[in-house]
A and B are shown apart, each in its own frame.
Chain A
Amino acid sequence: MLEHVYWIPLIPLFTSVVILFGGKEGKDSKMPYLGIAAMAWCFLQSSVIFFQTLTGRIPLLEGKEYFLYERIPWLSWGPNLKVHLGVLIDGPAATLLFVVTLVSLLVQIYSLGYMYDDKRKKRYYAFLSFFTAAMLGLVVSSSLLILFAAWELVGVSSYLLIGFWFEKPGPAYAAKKAFITTKLGDCGFYFGLLLLFSYTGTFDLVMLKSHVAQGLLPLEAATAIGIGFLIGAIGKSAQMPLFIWLPDAMEGPTPVSALIHAATMVVAGIYLVARVYFIYTSAPLALGAVAWVGLFTAFLAATMAVTAYDIKKVLAYSTISQLGYMMLGLGVYGYTSALFHLTTHAFFKALLFLGAGSVIHSVHTNDMREMGGLIKRMPATATTMGIATLTIAGMPLLSGWWSKEAVLHAAYSHNWGMWLLGVLTAGLTSFYMCRLFFLTFIGEPRDPHKHQHAHESPATMTGPLWVLAMLSLFAGGLLHYNGLFEHLVHFEVVGHGEHAGGSHAPAFLLPGAAIFVFLLGLGFAYRLYAGSLKTAQGLRDRFEWAADTLERRYYFDDFFLWLVSLSDKLAAACFWIDSRVVDAIFVDGWALVVRAVAAASDFFDDYFVDGAVDGMGTLTQDAGWGLRKLVRGQVQEYLLYVSLAVAVFATFLISR
């Protein structure tokens, strides 16, 4: 299984081509089943690899920290400039393979129900397969260059899928926004990549690691590269300040949001940082930047989620916030905890999105103010959503609890201030998630008409929900049990033990604080949103300026729009300079000079060059006219000439 891991990205790639170009388009297209079958195979292979590596059935290679490293030469520009196509399977890669194929499979099954009457089903499944192929390629690649290519391909897939309903202006706009915003981050990634190559001459992760271990990368370069990669990750993983695309990306189909904008693509940034963690550990400044970016993103996004009424937007902010947690984990040397949180988050966030999709599918609105009391109409959805809500909110012993605790523990060992803000964020998380649940499922139906027409979703949709609910309940505990996950995914930081620099907390403090904020958030949410919304509305009216700030996302969008309008003005000024100054002097002025030179050249050509040519002709003609007078057709004259010539020559000869 493991040695054929390269099939895992290739199968969906071929499948996407087959789906796109084969079969018939339409509601009754059979192509979705092909996509699901291919993904089922990939999932099977990935899960075998994951469990074998997790349980130690497949050992690490002798003296190495990876399970498989194979490569074939691809591009060569000389003896020392080679790029290889290769796979590198280590703990994080094996985990990600499992997570990506699982979520992708469940989302594809779920989409059978969600997209059942869409007229472009075939195209939808082709895009899903293509996205999964690109994401899996990103996960397994041993070369940063291939990783970058796959990184861009997931960006393209994301663009295609957000704008899947491109007839509507919203999705078309959101797709563009997502693509351009993430491209801004990719500039940083690309810059880091070039800088890295200029110092080490390789894109290969294994070779890079040994180069860095040998100290070939100066501190300044490592810092610059780390910051560059961080900017790429900020774009892709929707961190401050480039997070603005993710809430808008909710215009896409909800299963797509679950797959791409919750569980897989947005963790690519986290995965990138984890893949090149050896660079960050050698550049403390860059690692510190990772931590602070993650922390502030987690906190600010959580506050934004508090006031949102669009069910998917709440989840989008929540995703941003949780991604911030992962960044924070990486930044405070909690490598294992960050990837652990990534794994559990993929489960419960995919579940939340799919559950929200189920609700939207049923009531045909995103606005939570028009929902309420849906638990009676959709018991399965409500139950699974409830499980996911408790998981993300931090209910002890569920998946989210274990991973979030690990992150916060790492933060506490590093800097207790970071921990404090992290715990505050956890409380906010508990509050806004419970708020979402209460607004949607509990209380009186606020829109009786919609409530009446609400219905439970079909089994193709609830099935994946239950699978993810089980994972949300137990996966964290199982993976945490006996340090299994820590054994699979860990990173030895030279000269930095887990507890070396930080402080020890009393054993009860960390879990105690987490449970306290969880209950606090739950209680507040229950008080404000479970019954009538009057108190909540009163609070909102009283702190309108705060609510406005949050709803406008701390004016980040306005900031970027201002930046764009500024660059518009700059462009206008440049245009003025170009047309009035540059064109006038260099283009028009140059034209005048050229015309003058041309006139001079024309004069010279007419009177000197042509004069010489014509003169030669005239001379020859005149000479001819003169000479013909000698030839009068008188044969005796000719004879006279001959005789005279002979006489002259004879005289000359004799007298010599």
Chain B
Amino acid sequence: MSLSHYLVVSAALFLIGLFGALTRRNTIGILMSIELIFNAANLNLVAFNRYLHFDALHGNVITLFVMGIAAAEAVVGLALLMAIYRNLNTIYAEDFNLLKG
């Protein structure tokens, strides 16, 4: 198992997340896809730490931070979603067009 394998998996994960974020109509789906992108980044961090700086812990620690922040962000995102749903009665992203030019 080399670093490249991890990076390929990570890139795949990122692209899946991006595809999901761009194509899902349901906002919850979009949020979930974004979590995938986070995890792609996390996998990168851990992999680089393991292969490039074996003795160091920076990558692992930042990963833990990212996971914490992602959890908090999910909470905020879902809360916003609740508010939007109450006002607009929908959770499809294409209906959120108040900023239309």
Contacts and interface: CB of A to CB of B under 8 A. Distances in A.
A632 B99 CA distance: 7
A636 B24 CA distance: 9
Contacts of A632: 97, 100-101
A629 B101 CA distance: 7
B48 to A, nearest CB: 17
Nearest to B94: A634
A635 B101 contact: no
Interface in B47-101: 93-94, 96-101
A628 B100 CA distance: 8
A653 interface: no
Interface string B35-52: 000000000000000000
A631 B21 CA distance: 19
A650 to B, nearest CB: 12
Interface string A618-656: 000000000111111111100110010000000000000
B30 to A, nearest CB: 7
B22 A636 contact: yes
Given A639-B22, A643-B22, A634 B101 contact: no
A516 B21 CA distance: 147
B97 A634 contact: yes
A631 B22 contact: no
Contacts of A631: 99-101
A627 B21 CA distance: 25
B7 interface: no
Contact of B97 (A628, A633, A639): A633
Contact of A633 (B18, B21, B22, B99): B99
B92 to A, nearest CB: 11
Nearest to A637: B22
B100 A633 contact: yes
Interface string A95-131: 0000000000000000000000000000000000000
A621 to B, nearest CB: 14
Candidate in A628, A629, A636, A639 with the most chain B CB atoms within 10 angstroms = A636
Q: What class of interface size applies to chain B in its complex with A?
A: 10 to 19
A636 B93 contact: yes
A631 B97 CA distance: 10
Given A639-B21, A643-B18, A643-B22, A633 B101 contact: yes
Nearest to B99: A633
A646 to B, nearest CB: 10
Contacts of B99: 631, 633
A627 to B, nearest CB: 8
A284 to B, nearest CB: 105
B33 to A, nearest CB: 10
B93 A634 contact: yes
B40 to A, nearest CB: 14
A158 B21 CA distance: 112
Interface in B17-31: 18, 21-23, 30
A630 B101 CA distance: 8
Nearest to B18: A643
Residue picked from A629, A630, A643, most chain B C-beta under 10 Å: A643
B52 to A, nearest CB: 19
A534 B18 CA distance: 148
B7 to A, nearest CB: 14
Contacts of B94: 634, 636
Contacts of B96: 633, 635
Contact of B93 (A629, A635, A643): A635
A628 B101 contact: yes
Contacts of A627: 101
A640 B30 CA distance: 13
21 contacts: A629-B101, A630-B101, A631-B99, A631-B100, A631-B101, A632-B97, A632-B100, A632-B101, A633-B97, A633-B98, A633-B100, A634-B97, A635-B96, A636-B22, A636-B23, A636-B30, A636-B93, A639-B21, A639-B22, A640-B22, A643-B22
Closest 5 CB pairs of A and B: A633-B97, A631-B101, A633-B100, A628-B101, A633-B99
